[in-house]
Amino acid sequence: MKLLSHTLAPLLAALVLAGCATAPAIDTATLVATPTEFKEGAAQWTQAAPAEARDRGTWWRAFADPALDTLVERASQQNTGIAEAAARLAQARALLRSSESDRALQLGAGAGATRQAGAGTANGSTPSTLLSANLNLSYEVDLFGKLARATDAASLDAQARAALLQSTRLLVQADVAQTYLALRALDAERVLVRETVDAYRNTLQLTQSRFRAGDVAELDVVRVQTEVAATESEALALDRRRATLEHALAVLVGDSASSFSLGSADWSTALPVIPAGVPATVLTRRPDVAAAQSSLLAAQARVGVAQAAWFPSLSLTAAGGFASPELGDVFKWSARAWGVGALLSLPLLDGGRREAGVQAAQAQLDGATAQYRGQVLAAFQEVEDQLSALRLLEQQAQAQGRAVASSSRATVLSDSRYRNGLVSQLDLLDARRSELSNRRQALNVRSAQYQSTVTLIRALGGGWDAPGKASWEPAPLNLAVRQQAEVSR
């Protein structure tokens, strides 16, 4: 009895220690020091549970552009990146079902026939045949939670893939919106440049008439011809850029660049204003942060799986069936056979393989921790970047609007004085160049406002609903755009 107790002591100690074979718990809220508020804006931070499974909403409808709505919906259905992410999610869910099956009862059926002879058989050297049919039952007892932790890790992997699918869908929607808005901004710039070309051509006709009348030298004609050709070259460069954006849009919506086309149109897209009181909880809905968190928790669970590999495993088996040398007697009651068994195995020496597995799992956990922390910090940065960009772009748009109005007035005055012979042609050309440059810069600022708005929406994890209000409230055109419209008239 004393010998038996000494024999079982190491095993009992292992069983006790195995109960503690769990990876240390990780509180993701403490990995990054959460700021109390945004540096840009008045939104307050609060602690909230992740909500990556919530619908991100049709945030693109806030831009009130039917063409954009159609393109985003097409991309959501046909984009190859979204389809690839969906396939990876399906694969992760299949692996989860496979992991869950390891914890279930295993049942199999078999049939066989053997013919043998020799010293190890009942008939000696006389060959004999044995026919059998049986059912096999097996079950691994999850003594220390190894199978449960493996299932938890697979479940968290599936959650990470689901969040990555949401992240991919949001990214594609944002890319479609930004590409479309950049194309519409380019359409407006092309109209502006071609209007300038027409103005230069009118000036060229006037200069040629004055040259034939002997009022100006040939140098004046050549100067205007140079401006016409240079501006036409800029218009063609814009056409080339538009073709490239159109091809990129085709790929995003899952179409062939050879068959996809999007006609030119006025840039009438509304610029939505993000409510100033957006709760900081929207960052908990960022799918990339949720995916990083799920990957972190999965890595934590796999540390426990690797640690549990050191401890005993218990398998229960049972088999029952029939065996007979005659085919007609196989299923007789007298030919029945059965057996039950239990196997307890405990690793002793493995050359360091299990210890290496624990170290690899711990290294994976360390990497996942760093990745999660980096993802959260990047989320803070992206929000702050776009909030500051929108604030400064609004001020820049107002200043640029004043510049457009002044340069347009200068062009009108220079053209009138040139026709009356009060200023030189160089003064008129300089005024036109200045107006074109300021108008194009105003368009670029306006385009940057749209791009930053979309980027901020993506940084916040998509759209949201404000209590008692519509999700979005489209804003009127800013000062720079209104002034530009007045100048163009």
What does the pLDDT read at residue 45? 38
455-461 average pLDDT score:
84
> Quick one: average pLDDT of 253-269?
88
Q: What is the mean pLDDT of the chain?
A: 74
pLDDT number for residue 485: 34
The DSSP H or E segment spanning 137 is: strand 128-141
Q: What pLDDT is recorded for position 472?
A: 37
- Segment 289-315 shows an average pLDDT of 76
Average the pLDDT over 89-102 and give the result: 73
- Residue 197 pLDDT exceeds 50: yes
- Give the pLDDT confidence score for residue 117 in this predicted structure: 61
Residue 469: partners with Cβ closer than 8 Å, 6 or more residues away: 275
What's the CA gap between 367 and 281, in Å, rounded? 26
For the cut 50, the answer to whether the pLDDT of residue 13 exceeds it is no
pLDDT at 149 exceeding the cut of 80: no
Question: pLDDT band for position 323 (50/70/90)?
Answer: low
Count the neighbouring beta carbons within 10 Å of the beta carbon of residue 354: 15
In the chain, pLDDT over 90 holds for what percent of residues?
Answer: 16
In the structure, what pLDDT confidence band is assigned to residue 145 with cuts at 50, 70 and 90?
Answer: low
The Cα 245–Cα 241 span in angstroms is 6
User: Got the DSSP string for 175-229?
Assistant: HHHHHHHHHHHHHHHHHHHHHHHHHHHHHHHHHHHHHHTTSS-HHHHHHHHHHHH
pLDDT at 406: 93
Of 137, 160, 150, the C-alpha closest to 100 is: 150
| Distance of alpha carbon 97 from alpha carbon 442, whole angstroms | 56
Which of 80-94, 96-110, 201-215, 306-320 ranks highest by mean pLDDT? 201-215
Higher pLDDT, 269 or 140: 269
The predicted model scores a pTM of 0.71
Of 222, 197, 198, 212, the closest CA to residue 425 belongs to 222
Query: How far apart (Å, rounded) are the C-alpha atoms in residues 363 and 350?
Result: 21
- Given a cut of 60, whether residue 477 has pLDDT beyond it is no
Question: What mean pLDDT is predicted for residues 262-286?
Answer: 71
pLDDT for the residue numbered 185: 92
Mean pLDDT of 473-478: 35
Share of residues in the chain with pLDDT > 70 (%): 70
Q: Mean pLDDT throughout 203-209? A: 84
Mean pLDDT of 118-138: 65
Per-residue pLDDT, averaged over 395-403, amounts to 93
pLDDT above 90: residue 129: no
- What span, in angstroms and rounded, lies between the C-alpha atoms of 425 and 421? 9
**CB within 8 Å of 137: residues ≥ 6 apart:** 105, 106, 107, 317, 318, 319
Per-residue pLDDT at 147 exceeds 80: no
pLDDT at 488 over 70: no
pLDDT of 431 above 80:
yes
Please list, in sequence order, all residues whose beta carbon lies within 8 angstroms of the beta carbon of residue 266, skipping any fewer than 6 positions away. Answer: 187, 188
Query: In the chain, how long is the greatest CA-to-CA distance?
Result: 131
Please tell me the predicted confidence (pLDDT) of residue 483.
33
Residue 381 pLDDT exceeds 70: yes
To 5 degrees, how large is the angle CA 479–CA 413–CA 195? 65
